[in-house]
Structure 1
Amino acid sequence: MTDLDQRITSTLRERAKGEIDTRRLLRAARARGHRRQLRRRAAAGTALTLVGVLGFVGVTGTDFAGLPGRLPWIATTPTVAPAVPPRADGVPGAAQRPDLVGTDARVLHLSLDTSQARYLRWDINVYAEVESIRFSVAGELPVVVDVSRSAEQLNNMGIDGPGSQWIRVPLAFDGGVQPVGATGGLAKGWQPFPGVYARATMLVGDRAALDRAVDALRWNEARRCEAPLRLTTLPKDATVVGCKADVSAVPNGVTAELTIGRGESSVMYVRLMYGAQIAGSRSDGNRTVDGRPAHLDDKRGQLELLDIPKAHLVAQFGWPWPGVDPPKGYVSFTEADAETLLAGARLPEELGRPDTWK
């Protein structure tokens, strides 16, 4: 059980005999776990590649279970232009409309000066009301910037430390810089303008590197949360409440996730993992989706399309934390909902080329 699972378990046990604000629970869980999820899903690519597994490996919560390591292609030199989320024409940036930050899963209300910095990941979580980007400046170690209209929300998120550590970093958001953990990391909290709080963190680095990263931020333009995955159909009364894409390994690998919400509690995750070194695709399954082979893992509550070369596309519709009872009032999505999503999923022909994602 991960530290995230333990915190969820503790919360559920404390409130076992009473009502639970399920949306608050999900919002906090997603906010605390969103970085670890993408990192572990990317890490799973190593095992998939090295052992030549063609099928989708079981998921525990939102992580690929039991697969340590890193994507072997992360260190390679890209052969295509770095991925950049496209402009959201007509949408104001955070500087003009701070009240819009974290309200739309389709739009990032900040951007980077790409002459200085390279995007590695972007992430919007409407339940947590947080927008995040991970990037590097001039080949330096990555920096993560989280932005919200709530200082409390950012302080409650914590950050991933070395190994499996989860580090809580309470900040005053007064522009000061403080150490993070024992690895030489740094964190800065500030208000770029009234109504918006920003946090920049790096696990290793110095003050000058952190300052260069902050200087590369741009607040006067919005960007679309572009990913190599589009959903043309949604279940009844459902909306997209989260969007993320890890493009650090482009063109040889990419991971993406769209979070679907309904009502105050129900969530479903649609995840894509592409790796150029994943061989072939599967065609054997126990279900079909719009005439295509698929596999249902009823125990884990997830449905996968099997005919996508070098990629895995999965809809997880069940409660995402096995071993922990759902809170009172939680209503899961269904297999039929997952079929609706996957039947309407659209992927570009070249998953490793961001210019084809539009």
Structure 2
Amino acid sequence: MTFDVEDRLAATLRTRADREVDADALLGGSLARGRRRQRHRRIGMALAGAGVAGVTTAALAAVPLVLSDGGGGASIGSAETPASPPGRIGQIGPDAEPPVRGAYPVPALAAQGVPGAADAPEKVGREPGNIHFRVEKLSLPVQGVTWAVQPDGVEEMTLSITGADGGPATGRVQLAAGKVPEPESSGPARGEPGGPVVTTEKPVHIGDRTGTLSVIEESGFTSYEVRWSPADGLEAIVGGFELDEADVIALAHAVRWDQAVRCAAPLQLTALPQGAGIKGCTVRFSTEDITWVPESVLTLNGPGAAMKVEMGGPFIPSASFSASPGDLPDRGWVGDGDQTLQIYSLDGVPVRLTPTGYPKDVAEMVANGLRMPAGTDPNKPETWPTSLTG
């Protein structure tokens, strides 16, 4: 079994849309918009992995989250918070209706006592368990969010929201020491229009800093990107799909640099390959009430090898499991060439381990060392351990 983000998203679009849709074409369109095709392909793939691109969302939660908004405001579901639209993230076509503007929190796990980028710029991208910024409430409804520290040192937040026209929209914040690196090219994106790109730049003020607003026009689509230095030695980029200029600038103004938020997982790693460490962390939340456990992805890097450890998210049964359904935890090597170790349930959490350069027995060792601390509820991220290792 593979977990290709495009296939997963296409399946989700077909099963959750009100009518049959051309999911591949819609996904291709969402991947196509942007100034730099490689950068926006990376955005689109990140959104697809988080279940937030295209028609609707594969929201990664079993229950609506009741978390801090990352900015000291009300929790999701409080009386002073406007309710999120039921069922789906926005509508497509004539059914689309503009959302109610309000003050919608952004789900986050507070990192107690951890300074933000303004006070500790040297820590940006160097702590896989911490993202050194937070985001205040937004005026558009928020249904899903992914927080991540990438192995290349980029910290980012990706939002799934209802756009101003009632359709699905996405936004993203990136932060890195020096410059946010350009993503590597991975070839043409499916459905990419390939027309000429016209970029117009103008100055914009974000707080007491001056940045650049890029207006990007390509094949009839217009998108916006704000780039500035929120603190000496750091660069931030804010952009999105199906967001107008005012909403992209508003998102940039909503970012705060005085506190960090936490990247967490429901299970702790107690056994690591020799010489390996955690280099990246991703945690995905949703405010929708559906049947998936909140998802975390840890990236392990060692000498000449790496391993992806996915905890939570969807589970798709496979006939190639080596154990019978009555054996728990049910596990087996799945995918092309048995590339992924799938565990159906480890203390209620589905787990997938994909080694690159490591033999299978090392992945088994890491899997056998996963532990859930007492008091942890896999469906309630606020109960997850504060350390990724134990």
Query: Per the shorter chain, which TM-score range?
Result: 0.5 to 0.7
1:116–1:91 CA distance, 2 compared to 1 (3 A) = farther
Q: Which residue in 1 is equivalent to 2:300?
A: 260
1:89–1:356 CA distance, 2 compared to 1 (3 A) = closer
1:274 is displaced (CA, Å) by 2.5
Check conservation: 1:186, 1:201, Cα contact below 8 A. Answer: yes
Q: Which residue in 2 is equivalent to 1:296?
A: 333
TM-score (norm 1): 0.64
Give distance in 2, aligned partners of 1:351 and 1:357: 7
The alignment status of 1:101 with 2:67, answered yes or no, reads no
For 1:69-105, what per-residue CA distance to the aligned partner results, in whole angstroms no more than 9, with x for missing partners?
8776549997442573323233221001111111111
1:121 is displaced (CA, Å) by 0.6
Equivalent of 2:322 in 267, 283, 286: 286
Structure 2 alignment gaps of length 5 or more? 17-45, 67-75, 77-105, 203-209, 386-390
Give distance in 2, aligned partners of 1:75 and 1:124: 18
Structure 1 alignment gaps of length 5 or more? 1-36, 51-61, 319-331
Check conservation: 1:106, 1:243, Cα contact below 8 A. Answer: yes
Q: Which residue in 1 is equivalent to 2:113?
A: 90
Give distance in 1, aligned partners of 2:183 and 2:153: 12
AA of the residue aligned to 1:95: A
For 1:298-354, what per-residue CA distance to the aligned partner results, in whole angstroms no more than 9, with x for missing partners?
814221113459864211113xxxxxxxxxxxxx11212111221122458754433
Equivalent of 2:239 in 201, 212, 219: 201
AA of the residue aligned to 1:46: T
**Backbone CA RMSD of aligned residues:** 4.5
Equivalent of 2:182 in 131, 142, 155: 155
Give distance in 1, aligned partners of 2:13 and 2:348: 14
Percent of aligned pairs with the same residue? 20
Give distance in 1, aligned partners of 2:358 and 2:55: 31
Equivalent of 2:361 in 336, 339, 351: 336
Q: Which residue in 1 is equivalent to 2:154?
A: 130
1:180–1:192 CA distance, 2 compared to 1 (3 A) = farther
For 1:94-144, what per-residue CA distance to the aligned partner results, in whole angstroms no more than 9, with x for missing partners?
001111111111111111124768561111013x11000013678653210
Check conservation: 1:251, 1:353, Cα contact below 8 A. Answer: no
Q: Which residue in 2 is equivalent to 1:321?
A: none
Check conservation: 2:240, 2:248, Cα contact below 8 A. Answer: yes
Give distance in 2, aligned partners of 1:251 and 1:125: 28
1:159–1:108 CA distance, 2 compared to 1 (3 A) = farther
Q: Aligned residues, how many?
A: 288
1:166 is displaced (CA, Å) by 11
1:195 is displaced (CA, Å) by 0.5
TM-score (norm 2): 0.60
